[in-house]
Amino acid sequence: MANGKNLRQLIKAGTSGDATAFRRVSEAIIENERQKQHHLLANDLEQILYGEHLEQASKNVHRLIPNAPVDKERGLSLLDIKQPQRALEEIILPESSALALEELLEEHRRSDVLHSYGMKPSGKVIFCGPPGCGKTLAGEVIAFELDRPLAIVRLDALVSSFLGETAANLRRVFDFIAEHSMVALFDEFDAIGKERGDSGEHGELRRVVNAVLQMMDAYQGQSLILAATNHEQILDTAIWRRFDETIEFPVPGAKQTGQILKLKLRGVRRQFELDENELINLFANKSGADIERVVRRAVKRMILRSQEFLTIKDLENALARENQRTLQQGGGKCQTATDTLLLKGSC
């Protein structure tokens, strides 16, 4: 159970009404119980601490934010709006990228100071890097830290088979996010921002890119616009000038790999140290999402086999399974949103 110091801090924070201190001490107690392998108790405490708050916050989002616009052709919602749940400490990035993210947050937290000097925080930011390296997670983290809803633009609904309807859907999205204060994430942004000079591209795609450029130029709304792409090399050159900042999300290096493993193996009993070269080399050139999937698979096997400790061999076996899964998927990937714009169909 919690030690005397934590209990005194918890009661003091509760009686004084200091919600920030109460949450911080509560999280420390939960982490302490998890390190003692009291996982059921730690899970129960987390549910008590976060459960009702998140449920109420979700209700507040739906109450305060009107229904998202829909595609007239199919009636699909153009945005998925949700209450973010992942905080800054849950994302591991190289120092330069982490600093850029923190500077962006500071600009928005202290926007009143910037406004007093006739300046404003960055309103349009593009994330680029390989898949699984934290771009979508960063969008959720930013929304959480700024206490705003996260609106993810649904490209499957945005892209229409009707001539001109895709641009009309874009207009509905931009009008909506301009009216409300949220974090709007355009994932797979290359689907609507591809280079117009490519002679092989369909005329409709060029019109969509032109519409994106015009709407971004004219945008003066309340929301922070984030765009994420895995294929920055195919973006139209004019797109880059529309963004205030660019943040890179590279494949984790050795240092970041160790930090990700520390985060994902928190509270798991193991027979190895996290800084062992054998372990770090095992995950060389793997994305953060890859590492998380491998760790989750290995821990599941450990639990189901009633093992007391996790071993490097368990991680090796899980990694082999993950590599096999990746190879199998490589032979039959679904078409991208860009392909969908040119040829409607399903995989």
pLDDT tens for 286-343 read 999 999 999 999 999 999 999 999 999 999 999 999 888 878 776 544 444 445 444 4
* Predicted confidence pLDDT, tens digits, the chain (347 residues): 556 777 777 787 777 777 777 878 888 888 777 777 677 777 777 777 776 554 554 445 444 566 889 888 888 899 999 989 888 999 999 999 999 999 999 999 999 999 999 999 999 999 999 999 999 999 999 999 998 999 999 887 888 766 678 888 999 999 999 999 999 999 988 888 776 665 555 566 778 888 889 999 999 998 999 999 998 888 888 889 999 999 999 999 999 999 999 999 988 999 999 888 999 999 999 999 999 999 999 999 999 999 999 999 999 999 999 888 878 776 544 444 445 444 443 33
β-partners of residue 185 are: 152, 226
Per CATH, the architecture of 68-250 is what?
Answer: 3-Layer(aba) Sandwich (3.40)
Find out whether 202 and 159 touch, Cβ atoms under 8 Å: no
Query: Mean pLDDT in the chain?
Result: 84
Phi, psi (degrees; rounded to nearest 5) at 87 = -95, 175
**Domain boundaries defined on the chain:** 4-62, 68-250, 254-330
Closest by Cα among 256, 283, 329, 326 to 96: 256
Give the global pTM.
0.75
In sequence order, what DSSP letters do the residues of 293-339 get, joined into one string? HHHHHHHHHHHHTT-SSB-HHHHHHHHHHHHHHHHHHHTSPPPPHHH
CA distance 3 to 323: 44
254-330 domain in CATH 1.10.8.60? Answer: yes
DSSP, res 79: E
